[in-house]
Structure 1
């Protein structure tokens, strides 16, 4: 449809039909399998007539189901306006990739883009149109359960991944390419900074911090063309985001240039009442409409009250027309008026979902997401080693994570499955944890006394992270720590593999292991990826996109903390009156950007082409990286900088750029970065983004703990 045709369609709609477009229902409302929909219908102020006027449905999947629902719906809609079908396709559809925090550890946006493209292709074949992804919320607190859905704590990395996800989902032309989905950037804004790490809690961010660190990834997703943005559950400036007019209309729409569809999170408009900013759902509906929320997901404010509000308030009538035009435009962008069954194809669904090729990309993504945290000369293993496999996660196919909506655990190989299939029987012994606790020493002496190495699979269940899964204790369960202590007493080499959805406090773990692998929830091909790393078929290249603390008492802990007036440095010794803990080091257990390899990389000859940058002239920074080990490997070369004196307090260091390089044993390569004035800009006290003249420090190395050793000046 052309723009004028959309406007004509809008003019033809009744108020009730317009309001219907703003309402999203779950698939249950249209399911023949639903035993009793009366309660939910009442809760949503829904009637059969109103049900067939809604604009979108979430949670329906399967080509036959979407085609059937679309057909019956359009037959009962006076103007034959098609439905939008939306779903949580977070890190894969049927083929499940590592959780986003794991994908963040790849430091490979192009690979993330490929995973999003595959997810879109699988979902589109089922008739889905929109994914509630990417979640671009910056996160600094591992207590928060939804950290697993984030790509980490750094704005630059999050920006790169935001663009990668959006471009992977949407492609170049949504109307023409029916294998793509519309992307929904979420959660706007600041959802990743809840007080106490507790989900749905209030957020307390000053506006400078919000703009400097949290908004850039949303902006990048919008600039990449994301068709939707989702509101956050939390408050900003003590006003819930979903009813925050300044946040949504002034900042999101006007400043950031978003002109797509703004959708609430589940029930978020209704939650304006318990938040205490609306007396009832009628007032909540008014606040949300004034804030510019186009679609209400699963609460009854619009459904029950918006018709009446619009009939009595001409301003709201104008806002409703703007809202509905946004929704119709999205449907048009997807080509639904010409192809209401867009992409839905049973044959394609059967042929293109969970293919071998897709699983191979899932394997590649899982391999690159694994982070080797410790290796005291025990990895990689050889096929000649006699290995014991134990631990509560050894036989678990719970490797997909909490947001793998269509993932099938029954198709997911366990670590035991993979080892049993690929390690000679005489070299592998599976040991139950109970046997270790109940006479472990005698058991091992009698039956596997010649074993060289113990592989112990540990971690969280998927229910321990994700939405509504915040924790105050981010250590491994006590039973797992006791198991490690028993294994340590056996005088065997101990390699722990961790399956989890957040950075953990591993301080008690490190002394008990010789090797430590962070596997996250690695997805469909995760167990094979772990095997390949254990046995050296791949060399670890994952790097942390989020800091691991020494203790939950350090949280929130992140690498780019603000400079303080009393900074504590190692040379201060035991001096007290500095910004420090008296019972624990300030430093993390594992810093942002950290990860080991099966080889070693040496950095040398860091040089700057000039010591002065101007608004017009960038400088080049070069460093030589040499593989000094015996194996090939991939290194992520990271450049950090510090503004020594800004108009507002600046971080002690910031990631400015990074590059990955694969080097053979003995090979060296000169890596060159360009550094321009634009990369030195930041948010000032008046909220403008610009740079200041003055001195900067820069350093290049393998993680954020590096020293910034070279100086240059920005001259205006």
Structure 2
């Protein structure tokens, strides 16, 4: 029996996040604006630095001796070499590098900094550790589907420890952007469309990366909450696009996950690429100074995204590099990533009085304070050990965790006729589709150091799981975007010879991630042709969907007897999928994003407003808020996911139905598994504020609980509701709660009725 309550965990918006940041150990190590929180020996360095050396500390560049896929993801300056970069270290014009090639590279660079540079200030080594290092875990969107923040903490802890063993001090993660348009490719890096789930995953991943022993621990890496802010709200789901959004929506939807990350102790924040209402975030003093610093009390480091300051010119916001430097720096960006603008232009801006020396020193102290917190002034080589790098990656424990996390991230959308789980013996299985076999599209986008070559593919996982590996045949059938000559014929023949077909289709990992927005979020046409031909054979079909976003499904894929969303699951992908296919592990994940009926519904999310003309239950009515073709709902809603049990909801208890000041209302329902297999059910609590001074969503997730139910078992699942759970951003742009009537649902998804009722807030 496994039961865990998951709710807001006291991370209330506004003042509580500020208080949590102020009380954190990391905060004590970081200088506030103009403060003197540094150790005396480090503070003395500030007085000794030239302006050029100060600008150097504020400069972060891609490592020229790059690791893994780093060159393709974030190419270093074209004319720079490793020797050139070592020269910059000697001259004090470089504060750190990112996405480098491991401990050997880091040892050489740190050795130059500590032996040959004038002030001997240690370098920072950063990297994009988005969902694993050498052990690759499910992409963050998939892991969010586990609805298990503790799992996210564990995988981030393992990723952080592996990265630290390779000399890395700082990761550019977690991405905490809310993503409500599935056309946007970078949604794969976040936790989906819901604010509560986004907050909880942000909190868990920060704590995981940083560990419990403080940032100076040799297995800890500093986290970076990104991208501040509203990067996921780009117009039309287009990456880097403009954002025109109300301050209320920023505070209600897009800010809370950042506040949760800071409350968990994140010492750094990354500015986003997008503009907000005409002002690029990288040069937005309201965002970076007024909100982040003054309102929230953040005393840590703000870093630009890759060439974010340089891009102010293309935005039409800065005339040239010098002006872009001034605008970004004075708005609150402490460290410049990759453009080199700060070391090129800050000395002159200071000399001419356009940038105060006090502002320069403030930023330098923040960089130095982060290095102090990481323990680099005590031991610059604490994370740089080539021997440890070889022994503490891809261990049995981390690979087992990857397999566990993968299985817990798989969402079962359909299971008509209980076709799943498949028997491990006595059935001939045809694995068909471009993702059925091969060392490709396993680890997902945005992984610098892991490789598909080290991952387990579907065919391998299935053959290991069945009693007779010879009962499994494989046919690609088609490519990802294009047909294969004779491919469909071979796939149809394989399907006819089998008892059951496992059809592995969907997106390649190159179709999700940065700069991978899609105009049509569907399974590619070549694969749809394959799917229709195979389904027409008439054999039982299980569809496996590789994807980094919510998809609009159609045709036979939409109506196949069984459909699993398998995302990109990382190093142990094939084994994780096989575990669920054969019932070794029951499916328990839920959709962290809505799967729409069609692309044209995007942006869509479950927590939309009612409008003045809601359609209501039943057929589509004229002159109501819906499309001609579809109701204003999802094909597969947020929170949806089936188990191998048969789950029913009954017996709503509203606990008196009245919530007064200072009290707690406990509501409950009886959840029953009438099936023959145990099941992990994610019981969800949704609330609607029926009448408010600011219109509220049709539903909002307030809490969820994972409950393990044996066959035939019933459990009473309870949720406490407090006034603070009902806060929203009011007319004065401050958190408020208003008396009145509230609807609630205890249900298995954002569209399911489950059991429903009402209560009053006095």
Instruction: Determine helix, strand or coil for the equivalent of 2:682.
Output: strand
In structure 2, the residue matched to 1:53 is: 93
In structure 1, the residue matched to 2:421 is: 380
Instruction: Determine helix, strand or coil for the equivalent of 1:481.
Output: helix
In structure 2, the residue matched to 1:433 is: 477
Distance 1:255 1:109, change over 3 A: same
- Asked if 1:28 is matched to 2:64, the reply is yes
Instruction: Determine helix, strand or coil for the equivalent of 1:585.
Output: coil
**1:470-520: CA deviation from partner (whole Å, max 9, x where unpaired):** 110111111111011111221111111111111111123435522111000
Q: How many Å apart are 1:350 and its aligned residue?
A: 1.4
Q: Which moved more, 1:379-388 or 1:648-657?
A: 379-388
In structure 1, the residue matched to 2:54 is: 18
- Asked if 1:198 is matched to 2:263, the reply is no
Whether contact under 8 Å (2:216, 2:373) holds in the other structure is no
In structure 2, the residue matched to 1:663 is: 709
**1:288-330: CA deviation from partner (whole Å, max 9, x where unpaired):** 1111111100113212111000112175211111000111100
- Total equivalences in the alignment: 711
In structure 2, the residue matched to 1:613 is: 659
| Aligned mates of 1:618, 1:91 — CA distance in 2 | 38
In structure 2, the residue matched to 1:543 is: 590
Instruction: Determine helix, strand or coil for the equivalent of 1:678.
Output: helix
| Aligned mates of 1:439, 1:521 — CA distance in 2 | 24
| Aligned mates of 2:489, 2:220 — CA distance in 1 | 56
Q: How many Å apart are 1:431 and its aligned residue?
A: 2.9
In structure 2, the residue matched to 1:391 is: 433
Whether contact under 8 Å (1:264, 1:293) holds in the other structure is yes
Task: Choose the corresponding residue for 1:401, options 435, 444, 457.
Answer: 444
Distance 1:444 1:183, change over 3 A: closer
Task: Choose the corresponding residue for 1:418, options 461, 470, 474.
Answer: 461
Distance 1:134 1:441, change over 3 A: closer
| Aligned mates of 2:177, 2:491 — CA distance in 1 | 49
Distance 1:64 1:486, change over 3 A: same
Whether contact under 8 Å (1:429, 1:448) holds in the other structure is no
| Aligned mates of 1:440, 1:522 — CA distance in 2 | 27
**1:4-24: CA deviation from partner (whole Å, max 9, x where unpaired):** 433222112111111111101
In structure 1, the residue matched to 2:26 is: none
In structure 1, the residue matched to 2:359 is: 319
- Asked if 1:134 is matched to 2:180, the reply is no
Distance 1:485 1:72, change over 3 A: same
- Asked if 1:652 is matched to 2:695, the reply is no
Distance 1:345 1:287, change over 3 A: same
**1:549-605: CA deviation from partner (whole Å, max 9, x where unpaired):** 00001001100001211111124x343111111222222110000001111111111
| Superposition pairs of residues 360-379 of structure 1, within 5 angstroms | 360-377=400-417, 378-379=419-420
**1:84-105: CA deviation from partner (whole Å, max 9, x where unpaired):** 0000000100000000000010
Scaled by the length of structure 1, the TM-score of the pair is 0.95
| Aligned mates of 2:51, 2:86 — CA distance in 1 | 16
In structure 2, the residue matched to 1:628 is: 674
Whether contact under 8 Å (1:437, 1:486) holds in the other structure is no
Q: How many Å apart are 1:171 and its aligned residue?
A: 1.9
Whether contact under 8 Å (1:133, 1:184) holds in the other structure is yes
In structure 1, the residue matched to 2:271 is: 231
**1:670-691: CA deviation from partner (whole Å, max 9, x where unpaired):** 1111100000001012110011
Q: Which moved more, 1:243-252 or 1:298-307?
A: 298-307
In structure 1, the residue matched to 2:516 is: 469
Q: Which moved more, 1:610-619 or 1:229-238?
A: 610-619
| Aligned mates of 1:680, 1:574 — CA distance in 2 | 32
Instruction: Determine helix, strand or coil for the equivalent of 2:255.
Output: helix
- Asked if 1:458 is matched to 2:498, the reply is no
Distance 1:465 1:314, change over 3 A: closer
Distance 1:439 1:151, change over 3 A: closer
Q: Which runs of 5+ in 1 are unaligned?
A: none
Q: How many Å apart are 1:437 and its aligned residue?
A: 7.6
Q: How many Å apart are 1:422 and its aligned residue?
A: 3.4
In structure 1, the residue matched to 2:564 is: 517
Scaled by the length of structure 2, the TM-score of the pair is 0.90
Q: Which moved more, 1:689-698 or 1:152-161?
A: 689-698
In structure 1, the residue matched to 2:120 is: 80
Q: How many Å apart are 1:420 and its aligned residue?
A: 2.9
Task: Choose the corresponding residue for 1:243, options 257, 262, 283.
Answer: 283
Q: Which runs of 5+ in 2 are unaligned?
A: 1-28, 30-37
| Aligned mates of 1:580, 1:489 — CA distance in 2 | 33
